[in-house]
């Protein structure tokens, strides 16, 4: 079963070993946009993963991206921007009436949650750029591969959003509260740092990808998902190599000290006070924070705190409401305009200062539309 070559997502199944079990292969296929995730792509992924979940012949799934530059650089911001413009022209003041954003975030988060809770092994090859929505697809996979070319990041502060796709839950689990630093600075992670942060599992050379796929297809897979997880663990261990520590680990003590502070204002001041010297990673982190949306900084910080005691499903439900608010009256449209539409890189953030983007400001983004819990568009995620 092979999709036409011009499809935005390619699906294939290949017979493995000698017992008739099959490996499902998914390839994000829009390399010209760095495989940015569109609504149509998310729908295709959700439908196929659902079908393969119930197919006893599918033993495991491989998720990868076409091209050399990226697994997935994030969501399709151009379409989200057009949806925001259309909603504003409609005159509605109901955040759920932004039909494109409402559908996009619902399907994207549903796919992400499906991957997190998938019984069968999913091997995600996170090569090149893996940002935002790309991390959403990769983070829940049972076996997350990074290579020497991988660069992972949550860059949402630069476009007026917040680390969504479960980012509030994921970043809250990074050691030493370093997830706060990553949300505020969009700092990129190397392979070693991605593994340290809990966003990846194994470091394999990019040149070994074809050999790994061949080994997958040579294996006799079981009809038991749990056993196949173990088989895949063993197979990948034969290819894995140590990953050198990156800047996140090299500056672990400094970042832990900064992010141990309870007030966002104190964390931001401490980051800006770092003497970066000739350390380009720290200097760029400072620059990104200084240029980023104060509202996004507040949301990223507060949502991590809220997610600390929440299930993943509840985190997605919370983020869904916040994302719709961002698409309605936050800095999201302005950030996309400045970065991708007019490309002037001069966003007019509102509020313009962190003092004005206070806890009361963030609380407004948590106000749910008039639906009860059992009618929430992501109610089907259950309690996991």
User: CA dist 241 to 148, 176, 284, Å?
Assistant: 10, 25, 29
Using a pLDDT cut of 90, give the percent of the chain over it: 94
- Domains present along the chain, CATH in parentheses: 9-381 (3.90.226.10)
Q: Over the stretch 92-114, which tens digit does the pLDDT of each residue have?
A: 999 999 999 999 999 999 999 99
Least confident of 111-115, 132-136, 372-376: 372-376
- Residues 9-37, buried b or exposed e (16+ Cβ, 10 A)? bbbebeebeeeebbbbbbbbbbeebbbbb
- Between 79-88, 195-204, 281-290, 363-372, the lowest mean confidence (pLDDT) is in 363-372
- Give buried/exposed letters for 67-101 (b at 16+ CB in 10 A, else e): beebbbbbbbbebbbebbeebeeeeeeebbebebb
47-51, 117-121, 191-195, 367-371: which range is least confident on average?
367-371
pLDDT at position 272? 97
Buried b (16+ CB within 10 A) or exposed e, 102-113: bebbbbbbbbbb
Q: Is the pLDDT of residue 1 over 60?
A: no
Contact present, 133 and 166 (Cβ < 8 Å): no
Q: How far apart are the first and last CA of the chain?
A: 32
Half-sphere exposure of 259 (CA within 13 A, CB side): 24
Would the pLDDT of 294 be above 60? yes
- Helix, strand, coil: what percent of the chain each, to 5? 50, 10, 35
Which pLDDT belongs to residue 242?
Answer: 96
Residue 128 per-residue DSSP state:
B
Q: Which residue has the tokens 């991206």?
A: 65
130 pairs with which residues across the strands?
72, 152
Question: What is the predicted pLDDT for the residue at 39?
Answer: 97
Q: Is the confidence at residue 40, as pLDDT, over 60?
A: yes
What is residue 351's DSSP assignment? S
**Average predicted confidence (pLDDT) for the chain:** 96
**Where would I find the beta strands (DSSP E) of 73-132?**
122-126, 129-131
The residues facing 128 across adjacent strands are: 70
Mean pLDDT confidence for 343-355: 97
Residue 383's pLDDT is: 79
Whether the per-residue pLDDT at 384 is higher than 80: the answer is no
Are 154 and 135 in contact by the 8 Å Cβ rule? The answer is yes
R_g (Cα) of the chain, nearest Å: 21
14 Cβ partners below 8 Å, 6+ apart?
A: 22, 23, 25, 217
d(CA 120, CA 258): 40
Tell me, what DSSP letter sits at residue 253? H
Predicted confidence band at 374 (pLDDT cuts at 50, 70, 90)?
Answer: low
- Rounded to 10 deg, the angle between the 209-218 and 225-237 helix axes is 140
């Amino acid at each position: 079963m092979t999709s036409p070559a011009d499809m935005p997502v390619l699906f294939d199944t290949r017979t493995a070993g000698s017992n008739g079990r099959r490996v499902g292969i998914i390839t994000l296929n829009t390399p010209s946009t760095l495989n940015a995730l569109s609504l149509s792509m998310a729908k295709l992924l959700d439908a196929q993963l659902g079908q393969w979940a119930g197919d006893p012949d599918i033993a495991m799934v491989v998720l990868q991206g076409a091209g050399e530059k990226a697994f997935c650089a994030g969501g399709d911001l151009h379409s989200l921007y057009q949806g925001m413009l259309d909603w504003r022209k409609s005159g509605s003041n109901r955040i759920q009436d932004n039909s494109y954003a409402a559908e996009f975030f619902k399907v994207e988060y549903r796919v992400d949650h499906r991957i997190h809770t998938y019984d069968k092994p999913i091997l995600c090859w996170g090569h090149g750029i893996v940002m935002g929505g790309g991390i959403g697809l990769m983070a829940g996979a049972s076996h997350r591969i990074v290579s020497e070319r991988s660069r992972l990041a949550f860059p949402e502060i630069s476009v007026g959003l917040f680390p969504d796709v479960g980012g509030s839950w994921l970043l809250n689990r990074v050691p030493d509260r370093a997830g706060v630093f990553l949300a505020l600075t969009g700092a990129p992670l190397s392979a070693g740092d991605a593994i340290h942060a809990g966003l990846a599992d194994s470091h394999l050379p990019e040149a070994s990808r074809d050999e790994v796929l061949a080994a997958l297809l040579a294996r006799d897979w079981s009809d038991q998902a749990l056993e196949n997880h173990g088989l895949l663990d063993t197979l990948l261990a034969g290819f894995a190599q140590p990953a050198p520590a990156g800047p996140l680990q090299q500056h672990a003590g400094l970042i832990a000290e900064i992010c141990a502070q309870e007030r966002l204002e104190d964390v931001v001041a401490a980051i800006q006070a770092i003497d970066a010297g000739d350390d380009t990673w720290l200097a760029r982190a400072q620059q990104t924070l200084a240029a980023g949306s104060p509202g996004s900084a507040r949301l990223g910080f507060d949502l991590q705190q809220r997610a600390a005691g929440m299930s993943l499903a509840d985190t997605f439900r919370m983020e869904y409401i916040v994302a719709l608010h961002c698409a309605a009256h936050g800095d999201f449209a302005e950030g996309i305009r400045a970065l991708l539409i007019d490309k002037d890189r001069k966003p007019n953030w509102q509020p313009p200062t962190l003092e004005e983007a206070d806890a009361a400001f963030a609380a407004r983004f948590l106000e749910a539309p008039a639906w009860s819990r059992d009618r929430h568009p992501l109610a089907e995620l259950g309690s996991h």
